[in-house]
């Protein structure tokens, strides 16, 4: 494969393929093997971290559709996650709806709410939109905190263990079962998003991002494109929120603050704006970072006791630093770093 000078398509079907070289297929195979083996080698603690990563992947992919591909910045991610989580929890617990149906309704409902908060995006751009979505985050946060009806005055909702059409998730293999469910859903989400940008609709999103006036001039309905982007993105986010609710089995407002919005924005920026793979890398990286810092603190803990006392502050400081450094040094994120590494190997010993 090192001798290949480029990829030449001879048929339309080969051009439509997502992966065209043997190396890419090989890496995909490796990835599949790794994902299948994972639940058998990890203990419950690490598997629970992998599960939260899988949920974060769905959310980050959704956010990247809006921010990275359509260029509409959103600080309201935490609020939309909350809409998904609360609506799914209420539908399944309070109204006794089957869980898959409740999740589906939550996705649709979050998409509707997202579209509503996307309305300012029709008139506002960049900075103004960021501030408008910040306000939507604060307003949703206020509603879920103060509206007693949502939680029947307790401040939180508890959910039963996942029950799909009479099959209750077994307690002893809780994490393993969730792993397979989340893996399938995350894979579907990633593939759906990847393919979305090969359709006319996805291309119109990118045209809006690159130059909205030019996009309108070539016949893209800006209103429709922007609102659809908000709807599709919020749908993904609603799915992530609903899954969080059913996976953690509790819903409280603390899980959906502005910090969560920032965390997700950090994921897609560190991973790479405007790339589905980047959203996945970013979700993995930003979810693992605090865990690894904690592990590190445990290892050096006895030698430096102040370290574990300062852990939350240190984690936040590293978070901030990672965001700043990525933006300054490699604004296109981990995805670009990975591409550069691949190119370096491919062209070695030449520079280019």
Partner 1 sequence: MSTFLNLLVYGLADGAILALAALGFVLIYKATSVINFAQGEFLLVGAYMFYTAFVMMGLPLIAAVAVGVVVATILGVVVERFILRPMIGEDPISIIMVTIGLSMLLNALVQMFYGTSVKSQPAILPRGSVDFLGATVPLNRLLVILIAAVVLTAFTIFFRRSRHGIAMRAVADDQQAAMTMGISVRRIFALAWVLAAVSALIAGVLLADISAVDQNLAAFGLLVFPVVILGGLDSVPGTIVGGLTIGLLKQFVSGYLDPGLATVIPYVVLVLILLVKPYGIFGETRIERV
Q: Which is nearer to partner 1, 103 or 279 (CB)?
A: 279
Q: Smallest distance from the beta carbon of 72 to partner 1, in angstroms?
A: 9
| Tokens at 22, concatenated | 């043997």
Q: Smallest distance from the beta carbon of 133 to partner 1, in angstroms?
A: 10
The string of DSSP letters for 98-162 reads: -HHHHHHHHHHHHHHHHHHHHGGGGT--HHHHHHHHHHHHHHHHHHHHH-HHHHTTSSEEE-PSP
Q: Smallest distance from the beta carbon of 7 to partner 1, in angstroms?
A: 30
**Euclidean distance between CA atoms 70 and 168, whole angstroms:** 40
Q: Which is nearer to partner 1, 42 or 130 (CB)?
A: 130
Q: Which of 144, 192, 184 is nearest to 164 (CA)?
A: 184
Q: Which is nearer to partner 1, 305 or 320 (CB)?
A: 320
Q: Smallest distance from the beta carbon of 266 to partner 1, in angstroms?
A: 7
Q: Which is nearer to partner 1, 39 or 59 (CB)?
A: 59
Q: Which of 302, 283, 212 is nearest to 51 (CA)?
A: 283
Q: Smallest distance from the beta carbon of 333 to partner 1, in angstroms?
A: 11
Q: Which is nearer to partner 1, 100 or 148 (CB)?
A: 148
Q: Kindly give the pairing relationship between strand 250-252 and strand 156-158.
A: antiparallel
Q: Smallest distance from the beta carbon of 201 to partner 1, in angstroms?
A: 19
Q: Which is nearer to partner 1, 97 or 293 (CB)?
A: 293
Q: Which residues bind partner 1 (CB under 8 A)?
A: 67, 71, 73, 120, 122-128, 130-132, 134-136, 138-139, 142, 145-146, 212, 222, 262, 265-266, 269, 273, 310, 312-317, 319-324, 327-328, 331
Place of tokens 């058998």: 40
Q: Which of 154, 161, 23, 35 is nearest to 92 (CA)?
A: 161
Q: Which is nearer to partner 1, 99 or 129 (CB)?
A: 129
Q: Which residues share a beta bridge with 164?
A: 167
Q: Smallest distance from the beta carbon of 147 to partner 1, in angstroms?
A: 11
**Euclidean distance between CA atoms 286 and 292, whole angstroms:** 10
241 and 81 in contact (C-beta within 8 Å)?
Answer: yes
**Euclidean distance between CA atoms 257 and 261, whole angstroms:** 7
**Euclidean distance between CA atoms 181 and 289, whole angstroms:** 24
């Amino acid at each position: 494969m090192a001798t290949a000078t480029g990829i030449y398509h001879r048929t339309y079907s080969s051009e439509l393929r997502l992966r065209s070289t043997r190396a890419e297929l090989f890496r995909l195979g490796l990835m599949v093997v790794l994902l299948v083996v994972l639940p058998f080698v990890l203990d419950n603690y690490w598997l629970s971290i992998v599960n939260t990563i899988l949920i974060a992947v769905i959310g980050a992919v959704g956010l990247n559709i809006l921010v990275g591909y359509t260029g509409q910045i959103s600080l309201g991610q935490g609020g939309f996650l909350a809409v998904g989580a609360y609506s799914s929890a209420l539908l399944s617990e309070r109204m006794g709806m089957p869980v898959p149906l409740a999740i589906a309704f939550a996705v649709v409902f979050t998409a509707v709410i997202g579209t509503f908060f996307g309305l300012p995006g029709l008139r506002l751009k960049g900075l103004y939109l960021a501030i408008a979505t910040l306000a939507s985050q604060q307003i949703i946060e206020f509603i879920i905190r103060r509206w007693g009806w949502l939680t029947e005055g307790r401040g939180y909702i508890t959910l039963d263990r996942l029950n799909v059409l009479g099959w209750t998730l077994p307690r002893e293999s809780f994490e393993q079962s969730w792993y397979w469910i989340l893996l399938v859903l995350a894979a579907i989400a990633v593939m759906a998003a990847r393919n979305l940008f090969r359709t006319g609709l996805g291309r119109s999103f990118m045209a809006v991002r690159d130059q909205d006036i030019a996009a309108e001039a070539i016949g893209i309905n800006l209103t429709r494109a922007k609102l659809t982007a908000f709807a599709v993105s919020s749908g993904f986010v609603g799915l992530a929120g609903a899954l969080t609710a059913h996976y953690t089995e509790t819903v409280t407002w603390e899980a959906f603050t502005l910090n969560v919005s920032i965390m997700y924005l950090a994921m897609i920026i560190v991973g790479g704006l405007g790339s589905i793979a980047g959203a996945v890398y970013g979700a993995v990286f930003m979810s693992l970072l605090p865990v690894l810092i904690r592990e590190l603190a445990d290892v050096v803990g006895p030698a430096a006791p102040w370290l574990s006392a300062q852990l939350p502050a240190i984690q936040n400081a590293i978070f901030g630093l990672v965001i700043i450094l990525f933006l300054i040094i490699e604004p296109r994120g981990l995805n670009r770093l990975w591409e550069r590494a691949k190119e370096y190997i491919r062209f070695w010993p030449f520079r280019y």
